[in-house]
Amino acid sequence: MNRTEPLVDPNRRAELFPVTRRWIYLNHAAVGPLPAYVLDAARHYLEAISRDGDHHWQETLQVVEDARTLLAELVGARPEEIAFTRNASEGISVLANGLDWQPGDNVVLPAIEFPANVFPWQNLARRGVDVRYVPLRDGRCEAADIIARMDGRTRVVSVSSVQFFNGFRLDLAPLGAFCRDRGVLFCVDAIQQLGALPLDVGSGSVDFLACGGHKWLMSGEGIGFLYCRAELLDRLHPAAVGWMGVRDWEHMLNYRLEFPPAARRFETGNLSAFGVHNLKAAVGHYLRLGPAAVAARILTLAELTAEAAGQRGWTVLSPDGPARSGIVSFRVPGCDAVDLVARLSAAGVQAAVRNGAVRMSPHFYNTAEEVAEAFIRLDRIVKSTDGR
Ligand SMILES: Cc1ncc(COP(=O)(O)O)c(C=O)c1O
């Protein structure tokens, strides 16, 4: 593929991605804007419930199951291994609160995890569970470093497959295989990967995965999902239960608390049908476009971003090669990142600040021209900052 060849028909880009009319949007690692095909699904659902109330309930249930099937395809799982959640934090909490911990057990995490993958584990302190942090080396936390922090009491290793701060992408397979060999559960926060770069739970030996829909999947906030490997289901005690998570939920007065052989046991009651409609539209579109083509496009744009920062002599904090993802972070010497990003926003470019660095995260519909233009605007800001 040509390095700058677009994946989206340029004549339809503004129609499909309305955000492009106003912004150069390089902030998908924070929140992905809703594409028109997701907005249409949302509108369809809201209009139906506004017009007809409960009349479409059966259709809604079907949409939930269709979305579950698409999510299973997204991560290489079976639909019974997928449950909807509100967000990644809730998904990770299902695992953290579901295990039968013994005092002295420990969980191993990289030292720069997003707090969604820290607090659910810290919350187990009252059950005597220790959280062990793996220090980073040169912005990376490799499998070998994590393995070195494990011991005979390690029950879970929990990692972001792509780090939120500098985008370091971990090679899951060797770490997953090591954990599987030793009977340690391997949990992945995949929110910075799914929708951008492919992930297969089988080849990564992943036992449990949590994700939210509002970043690279561009489905809006408040809807997410988890994957729980079928063999793990019965080892987790659902910490929250509800009427729709049981085997015979349609028989409302039967009161038998029996779980189905499926991850939907973690779903409690009614889901955000709104969110599920959005997620279904977004994931369906992504799978039709082709995960490999999307990944190639994002990696090209990320590389152009890193090159642009590097050429200016700025400090690029993101790894290249196989550890590259859709996230590129850099520091501009002598400039405050918060100030830069605020002024960049005023100039029509959205990026983020994380850990004192500018973070850019282009998606497949962005263009090479947008990346180049973002840096031209950044140059102007940096120049005026120097002169102040
Ligand atoms: C790695 C990572 N995990 C989780 C989240 C969000 O967690 P939640 O879906 O619980 O809001 C973020 C960003 O907001 C993140 O970067």
CA of 358 from ligand 1 middle (Å) equals 18
Nearest to 296 by CA among 200, 211, 363: 363
Domains and CATH numbers, the chain: 13-34+290-386 (3.90.1150.10), 40-288 (3.40.640.10)
Which residues are CB-neighbours of 151 under 8 A, at least 6 positions away?
Answer: 106
pLDDT of residue 385: 83
Q: Tell the residue number behind the tokens 């139906």, with chain if given.
A: 48
**Residue 107 token pair:** 């969980």
Nearest to 94 by CA among 206, 287, 192, 228: 228
Tell me the pLDDT of the chain averaged across its residues. Answer: 96
Beta carbon of 164 within 6 Å of any ligand 1 atom: yes
User: ∠ CA 199-200-202 to the nearest 5 degrees?
Assistant: 155
| Atom 13 of ligand 1: nearest residue by CA position | 30
Looking at residue 297, its pLDDT comes to: 96
> How far, CA to CA in Å, does 154 sit from each of 101, 114, 123, 160?
11, 20, 16, 18
One-letter identity of residue 163? Q
> For residue 224, what are the β-bridge partners?
85, 212
Ligand 1 pocket check for 88: Cβ under 6 Å: yes
Q: From the CB of 93, is ligand 1 less than 6 Å away?
A: no
Å from CA of 274 to ligand 1 middle: 20
Answer whether 114's CB lies under 8 Å from 297's CB: no
- Residue 304, amino acid: L
pLDDT band at residue 7 using 50, 70 and 90 as cut-offs: confident
Residue type, 357: A
What would the mean pLDDT of 71-95 be, rounded to a whole number? 98
Does position 388 have pLDDT exceeding 60, yes or no? no
Nearest-CA residue for ligand 1 atom 14 is: 30
Helix (H), strand (E) at residue 75: helix 57-75
222 alpha carbon – ligand 1 mean position (Å): 11
Instruction: Measure the CA–CA gap between 231 and 21, rounded to whole angstroms.
Output: 47
Report the C-alpha gap between 280 and 168 in whole angstroms. Answer: 28
pLDDT (tens digit per residue) in 310-340: 999 999 999 999 999 999 999 999 999 999 9
Strands (E) in 244-373, as ranges, are 315-316, 328-331, 349-350, 352-354, 357-360
Average pLDDT over residues 230-256: 95
Contact indicator for 364, 6 with CB cutoff of 8 Å: no
Q: Minimum mean pLDDT among 5-9, 186-190, 229-233, 241-245: which range?
A: 5-9
What confidence score (pLDDT) does residue 320 get? Answer: 93
- Nearest C-alpha neighbor of 193 from the set 279, 298, 87, 285: 298
pLDDT at residue 4, rounded to an integer: 58
Q: Whose CA is nearest to atom 2 of ligand 1?
A: 114
Question: Is the predicted pLDDT of residue 364 greater than 50, yes or no?
Answer: yes
92 lines ligand 1 (CB under 6 A): no
**Cα 214 to ligand 1 centroid, rounded to whole Å:** 9
Q: Which residue did the predictor score with more confidence, 239 or 385?
A: 239
Tokens 């660095």 appear where? Answer: 357
pLDDT of residue 2 exceeding 70, the answer is no
The residue with tokens 């579950």 is 68
User: Mean pLDDT, to the nearest integer, of 365-373?
Assistant: 97
3-state class (DSSP) for residue 320: coil
Q: What is the DSSP string of 20-49?
A: HHH-EE-BTTT-PPPPHHHHHHHHHHHHHH
